[in-house]
Amino acid sequence: MDFSLTKEQEMLKKLAAQFAEEELEPVAAEIDAEHRFPTENFAKMAKVGFTGIGVPEEFGGSGGGMLEKVIAVSEFAKKCMSSAATLSIHLIAPHAILDFGTKEQKEKYLPRLTKGGELGAFALTEPNAGSDAAGVKTVAVYDEATDEYILNGTKCFITGGARAGVLVIFAMTEPKLGTRGMSAFIVEKGMPGFSSGKIEDKMGLAGSETAELVFEDCRVPAANMLGKKNKGFKIAMMALDAARVGVGAQANGVAEAAIEMSVKYMGERVQFGKPIGVLQGLQWYIAEMATKTEAAKALVYEASYLADAGKPFSKEAAMCKLNAAENARFVTNLALQIHGGYGYMKDYPLERMYRDAKLTEIYEGTSEIHKVVIARAVMK
């Protein structure tokens, strides 16, 4: 399988790397320290066209597909994981609307989420529904008199939820049916009865805001149902597959950056009269880090290839996310060890990268749930 990039993809990679270096890197530490949402970064991404990756130009997008998303997100993650995660999760909403929305929904919402610069969000997780999506308790009851659905419930750990202008929300329209009674809705910020609650204080990805969402008799027009009634679980699972590839891209980006920093440091740091790069033990660290990262990149590219070809990729999405996330923690840990005391200090980016990398093993499905997904796919 040939994963060589086309000329256009190479240009995108170069553009994304330049953007990350010039726009993201200078403010990455500040965003993390202040737990500040990267508003300016996202606005600049929208201006350049990154927020419309995977969406056709007729809806304000930049075209391309999953591989283009992976390329941009990976380059961004090398310099600022919070900004990379913000873009990666944002893209779930327009892609879900593109895949399952009506003509009217696409025309109304996609331009806002692409060239319009509005943030998108995807809200499935609840206090009792993390890995177990069947545990969703948010309900949507149809009001025939107004042709609206009334939503009640609470979502948690929603990336960008408090700032998003357009959100894809999942609720039970027939709770007795379990996942077969789940539907998806497009909800706009400002709709009566919809509000945001607690903003989480996280260990890492401090600039990628994680919020609680509250629905108290929130009225959503029936025309805002995404896809068919009671078919929301399929939408959620397909969106999660795409999200997992995005997390894999984030993990690979931060791993590549950690390797680059380590190689540079090993050439500059002198101990006992010689650069520490001559030490075989540290060379072996680099060999392991580089080999595992190349393997992780290959899995992410394979999942992207299948997605763009319109083929099933649930197993591959789980594999690439599991492998890339565990590798990101492994690589940033060794990189921090190579840097010694300097790596542990907040004056240097590695301690932030180490904290950020850990979350890739948790969000959009923990490593443990991915092993279940993979095992079931292999053993069926």
Model confidence at 116, pLDDT cuts 50, 70, 90, reads very high
Residues 158 and 93 in one domain: no
User: What per-residue confidence (pLDDT) applies to 185?
Assistant: 98
With 80 as the cut, is the pLDDT of residue 134 above it? Answer: no
The mean pLDDT of 5-12, rounded to a whole number, is 96
- What total of structural domains would you count in the chain? 3
The mean pLDDT of 348-360, rounded to a whole number, is 96
Is 314 contained in some domain? yes
The CA distance from 253 to 307, in Å, is 20
Is 2 contained in some domain? no
CATH code of the domain in which 190 resides: 2.40.110.10
Residues 92 and 150 in one domain: no
Helix (H) or strand (E) run with residue 141 in it = strand 139-143
Return the active site residues: 364
Over residues 30-39, the pLDDT tens digits come to: 999 999 999 9
User: What per-residue confidence (pLDDT) applies to 355?
Assistant: 97
Over residues 257-266, the pLDDT tens digits come to: 999 999 999 9
Residues 262 and 197 in one domain: no
Choose the final residue of a domain: 203, 230, 257. Answer: 230
The CA distance from 30 to 347, in Å, is 11
Domain of 166? 120-230
Over residues 275-323, the pLDDT tens digits come to: 999 999 999 999 999 999 999 999 999 999 999 999 999 999 999 999 9
Please give the full DSSP string across 253-291, using - where no structure is assigned. HHHHHHHHHHHHHHHH-EETTEEGGG-HHHHHHHHHHHH
CATH code of the domain in which 278 resides: 1.20.140.10
Choose the final residue of a domain: 230, 265, 298. Answer: 230
Over residues 170-195, the pLDDT tens digits come to: 999 999 999 999 999 999 999 999 99
The mean pLDDT of 14-30, rounded to a whole number, is 98
Choose the final residue of a domain: 113, 143, 167. Answer: 113
β-strand pairing of 120-123 with 166-172: parallel
Residues 125 and 218 in one domain: yes
